[in-house]
């Protein structure tokens, strides 16, 4: 059982079949089928089943997935570690970030890193918090930046800081710039929030309902930018992390309602694979991220 066989198995699983896997790997379908057949012969059990024209994992396949992911990631670690001996300041670094964290602060981080390490191939992708953990676990991303810790034993999470949440409204809202004693005073407002999506930890309706401990009127909007535009237009108010509304508040496009009993925040953490290889460039990117967010934490004391 080698890493190529395991990688082929994972590709068939993720792409949903032999045909799609062949296209992704630029190999023929018979070659992919033969590779899977040899792996199944070695294991003595089928890894896939065909049901209603779909290729799905067998029981053995489902058991196999996490072990295959770790093995393929470890093989990639080994290759990266050897290559790093010859080129300590080059090579790929893949960063995965929750979309709502991809703002001005992240741009400054990336610009500084690119200036310091022009020879490094830095890639960036956005995903939900749960997806980011999966990308790190499979070795498809080197460093992740997400909301809240992941308790998985194969991941390391480092708290950068707890981002306070605040109530944001239009500048002409009757309570703009004012203070209310209790969050309950805002129960009659229409709230704007992300719809519930598994694995996404942005402010969804469940966060707001949990704070009120009862139902309130809310509008689902699946875009942070759209949420802020609707708030500006007076269509509702929202509970946003300070990092997500900083530019609009600074330019006076939005305002806040201070709430006396509101004590809520989002933990922002970095995620890396426990025991995984981090190149010198990857470690430097982590240092820059810590410094950038550490400055935020220090300024709030």
pLDDT in tens, 40-71: 888 888 888 888 778 889 888 888 888 888 88
Mean predicted confidence (pLDDT) in 22-42: 88
Residues 94 and 24 in one domain: no
d(CA 140, CA 70): 11
On whether residue 224 sits in a domain, the answer given is yes
pLDDT at 72 over 70: yes
pLDDT over 70 for what percent of the chain? 90
Of residues 143 and 118, more confidence is placed in 143
pLDDT at 79 over 70: yes
On whether residue 81 sits in a domain, the answer given is no
Residues paired with residue 54 on neighbouring β-strands, in sequence order: 51
Residues 99 and 144 in one domain: yes
Residue-averaged pLDDT of the chain: 85
* pLDDT on residue 297: 45
Q: How many domains does the chain have?
A: 2
On whether residue 159 sits in a domain, the answer given is yes
On whether residue 84 sits in a domain, the answer given is no
Residue 224: band (very low, low, confident or very high) from pLDDT cuts 50, 70, 90:
confident
On whether residue 221 sits in a domain, the answer given is yes
What six digits make up the tokens of 272?
């890396």
Residues 94 and 189 in one domain: yes
Q: What is the CATH number of the domain that holds 223?
A: 3.40.190.290
Domain boundary among 49, 74, 99: 74
17-20 CB contacts, 8 Å cutoff, 24+ apart: 17/54, 17/55, 18/55
Residues 100 and 58 in one domain: no
Mean predicted confidence (pLDDT) in 208-218: 75
On whether residue 105 sits in a domain, the answer given is yes
Give the total residue count for the chain: 301
Helix ranges, the chain (H): 3-15, 18-25, 29-43, 59-86, 104-116, 129-137, 205-212, 224-232, 242-250, 280-299
In which domain, by residue range, is 125 found? Answer: 90-301
**Overall pTM surpassing 0.85 (yes/no):** no
Work out the angle at residue 197's Cα, subtended by the Cα atoms of residues 192 and 201, and round it to the nearest 5 degrees: 75
Residues 264 and 295 in one domain: yes
Residues 10 and 118 in one domain: no
* pLDDT on residue 99: 84
On whether residue 83 sits in a domain, the answer given is no
pLDDT at 161 over 50: yes
């Amino acid at each position: 059982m080698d890493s190529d066989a395991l990688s082929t198995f994972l590709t068939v699983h993720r792409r949903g079949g032999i045909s799609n896997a062949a296209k992704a790997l630029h190999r023929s379908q018979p070659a992919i089928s033969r590779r899977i057949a040899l792996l199944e012969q070695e294991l003595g059990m089928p890894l896939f089943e065909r049901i209603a024209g779909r290729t799905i994992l067998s029981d053995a396949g489902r058991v196999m997935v996490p072990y295959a992911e770790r093995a393929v990631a470890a093989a990639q670690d080994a290759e990266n570690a050897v290559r790093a001996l010859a080129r300590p300041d080059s090579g790929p670094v893949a960063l995965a970030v929750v979309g709502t964290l991809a703002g001005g602060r992240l741009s400054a981080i990336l610009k500084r890193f690119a200036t310091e390490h022009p020879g490094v191939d830095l890639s960036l992708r956005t995903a939900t918090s749960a997806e980011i953990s999966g990308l790190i676990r499979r070795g498809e991303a080197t460093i992740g930046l997400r909301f809240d810790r992941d308790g998985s034993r194969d991941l390391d999470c480092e708290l950068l800081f707890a981002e306070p949440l605040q109530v944001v409204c239009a500048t002409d809202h009757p309570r703009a710039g004012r203070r209310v004693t209790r969050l309950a005073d805002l129960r009659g407002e229409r709230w704007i929030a992300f719809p519930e999506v598994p694995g996404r930890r942005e402010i969804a309706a469940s966060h707001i309902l949990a704070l009120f401990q009862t139902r309130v009127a809310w509008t689902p909007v699946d875009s942070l930018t759209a949420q802020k535009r609707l708030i500006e237009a007076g269509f509702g108010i929202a509970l946003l992390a300070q990092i997500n509304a900083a530019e609009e508040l600074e330019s006076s496009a939005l305002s806040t309602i201070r709430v006396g009993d509101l004590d809520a925040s989002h933990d922002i953490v970095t995620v890396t694979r426990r025991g995984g290889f981090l190149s010198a460039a990857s470690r430097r990117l982590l240092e820059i991220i810590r410094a950038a967010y550490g400055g935020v934490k220090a300024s709030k004391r």
